[in-house]
Chain A
């Protein structure tokens, strides 16, 4: 399936960009006329993915994070968030609820929330090379008022 629209953003792994990234994703998704709940789910999932890049991918330095947003004819939004950081040695374990290497400051719920708030979540990671998270969410079609 070919995308009907596409946007790409690249930004530094500063925590101030968490709000920027989720708001940008919400603005792009607005084309699909999502409900408030749908927008909130998308914002929350993006916030989790970008926070992972900032906290885990680049623990000791700043690096670049990219976010690609694509829309498809069936009203699906695809979000790909990619870093070139340290990678995740055991993705299956990292995706488990409450698992975190971030200590007391983190809840270990990031991937669980991405998984439950979006329709699909794919995580590909190569230690030393980086991580790519792909999420999809089909937005409901609303009847015109």
Chain B
């Protein structure tokens, strides 16, 4: 699962591409965990613009990153959320916890 990470000041942007299902989730969670722990950012931006499919496994991925950022006293935002991902994330109320931004 391709993930591109970019650090700019206190912000870590992770651009995720492809299908976020159970098959991909474990590696993706581990990768994001490593990136967050290496950068220790104040802000994490998860860019979902190139995610072509997401199921509830993606909810766990997003929440795991959110929890880690909470521990660090930082924040998370979700960028360019495609409609299919938005519907899945909203079903779990993720939008009430993490802002969706363009």
Binding site for A on B (CB under 8 A): 19, 21-23, 25-26, 29, 53-57, 59-60, 63-64, 83-84, 87-88, 91-92
Contact = CB atoms under 8 A, between A and B. Distances in A.
Nearest to A112: B91
Interface residues of A, number: 28
A107 B63 contact: yes
16 contacts: A15-B23, A19-B21, A22-B53, A40-B53, A44-B87, A48-B56, A51-B55, A51-B57, A98-B92, A104-B60, A104-B64, A106-B56, A107-B57, A109-B59, A110-B56, A113-B91
B1 to A, nearest CB: 12
B27 to A, nearest CB: 11
A105 B60 contact: yes
Interface of A: 15-16, 18-19, 22, 37, 40-41, 43-44, 47-48, 51, 54-55, 97-98, 104-110, 112-113, 116-117
**Nearest 8 CB-CB pairs, A to B?**
A15-B23, A107-B59, A47-B55, A109-B56, A40-B84, A51-B22, A107-B60, A107-B56
